[in-house]
Amino acid sequence: MKIYHCGNCNYPVYFENVVCSNCGFWLGYDSQQDQMVALSPGRSSWQPYGDTTTLTFIYCGNHTHQACNWLIPQDDATGLCVACDLNRTVPNLSDAVQLREWQELEAAKHRLVYALLRLGLPVQDKMTYPEHGLAFDFLADQPGADRVMTGHDEGLITLNVEEADSAQREANRLQLHEKYRTLVGHFRHEVGHYYWDELVASHPTLLADFRQLFGDERADYGQALQKHYKEGAPADWESRFISTYATSHPWEDWAETWAHYLHLLDLLESAYAFGLQVDPPGMPELTMQARADFDPYADRNMDRILSTAVPITFAVNSINRGMGRPDLYPFVLNGPVREKLSFINRVVSSAPALLAS
Ligand SMILES: [Zn+2]
Ligand SMILES: [Zn+2]
Ligand SMILES: [Zn+2]
């Protein structure tokens, strides 16, 4: 993600900050202008940009739960921001554990919504747009009831809040033999299913191209998953897929690859914001040189994104290993995966035209 600055003193701040650590002003994120605006302590509404005649902003209603720092117009109909409008169900907020878990989920979800807005993808809540909208159910397991399964169904994304417990998430990761398991990864994967429905399913030419690259999604989904959990991935999966789970069914291949598309854009936007470049001395091969000198959301050339991201991830993986941390990006981007990523990039870039047609 890019580097934000306090609207009062220009000090660099994180996307999640609610207070500037330099000047003490309160901070709120304006998703329309994509900037962090500041409010002098003691006041409760904003009139940014020196304009006193138009909108007055207040915090999104979920600010009171420390789950959101986005701003909304004072007369907003729902009292919630565009990211929080997507919530259909939140967990029991009087339970301190569930509240903390939900706050973690919201932080990841807000980063997802940021990326969707940057990509110009439609972000509409399912409560207002039942047919084509998106919604989230954040649910906790209840005694005596079936376990809450994470997944997507016709625009409704369900997440088990226990996934926000890092010990539980690591246990799940080990049990499923995954290289990587994060909250932001869950959001990026599940929303991929939603945009497949919205952008690919009803466009015959894209659907035909999809089947060429990912396979025929009409294969029985339930049987495919059963087979995957029983037999595991094919031995040569690393030469064709981004993950073992991607091998289970074309829909999961799409969602896994879609998540990586969003991972790579975010990673590269951060690299661009900090002016990163790698140029290891004594390695004249051009493949190890990269300069993140473009905004990947604005300049979405997949070849350039890949040739820049790969050397940078290799460098950051090495730094992480030095600190005893897991690799930042523990994946190999083989030829077929690169083709799939390029296709996703094409679908995203044509989304405005697809949705208008
Ligand atoms: Zn400040
Ligand atoms: Zn909000
Ligand atoms: Zn999935």
HEC letters along 68-137: CCEEEECCCCCCCCCCHHHEEECCCCCCHHHHHHHHHHHHHHHHHHHHHHHCCCCCCECCCCCCCCEEEE
Measuring CA to CA, which residue among 222, 285, 284 is closest to residue 252?
A: 222
Task: Say how far apart CA 337 and CA 28 lie, in whole Å.
Answer: 38
Distance 76 CA to ligand 1 centre (A): 27
Write down the mean pLDDT value for the chain.
94
Please tell me the predicted confidence (pLDDT) of residue 116: 98
Distance 119 CA to ligand 1 centre (A): 29
Distance 6 CA to ligand 1 centre (A): 5
Please tell me the predicted confidence (pLDDT) of residue 52: 59
Distance 79 CA to ligand 1 centre (A): 26
Does the pLDDT of residue 291 top 90, yes or no? yes
Distance 66 CA to ligand 2 centre (A): 10
Distance 160 CA to ligand 3 centre (A): 14
DSSP label at residue 326: P
**Domain residue spans in the chain?**
1-81, 82-200, 204-357
Please tell me the predicted confidence (pLDDT) of residue 287: 78
Distance 337 CA to ligand 1 centre (A): 43
Please tell me the predicted confidence (pLDDT) of residue 44: 73
Q: What pLDDT digit, counting tens, does each position of 211-263 carry?
A: 999 999 999 999 999 999 999 999 999 999 999 999 999 999 999 999 999 99
Name the strand (E) or helix (H) holding 163. Answer: none
Distance 352 CA to ligand 2 centre (A): 25
Please tell me the predicted confidence (pLDDT) of residue 40: 76
Please tell me the predicted confidence (pLDDT) of residue 43: 74
Q: What pLDDT digit, counting tens, does each position of 175-219 carry?
A: 988 999 999 999 999 999 999 999 999 999 999 999 999 999 999
Please tell me the predicted confidence (pLDDT) of residue 53: 56
Does the pLDDT of residue 357 top 70, yes or no? no
Task: Say how far apart CA 357 and CA 351 lie, in whole Å.
Answer: 10
Contact 138, 105 (CB under 8 A): yes
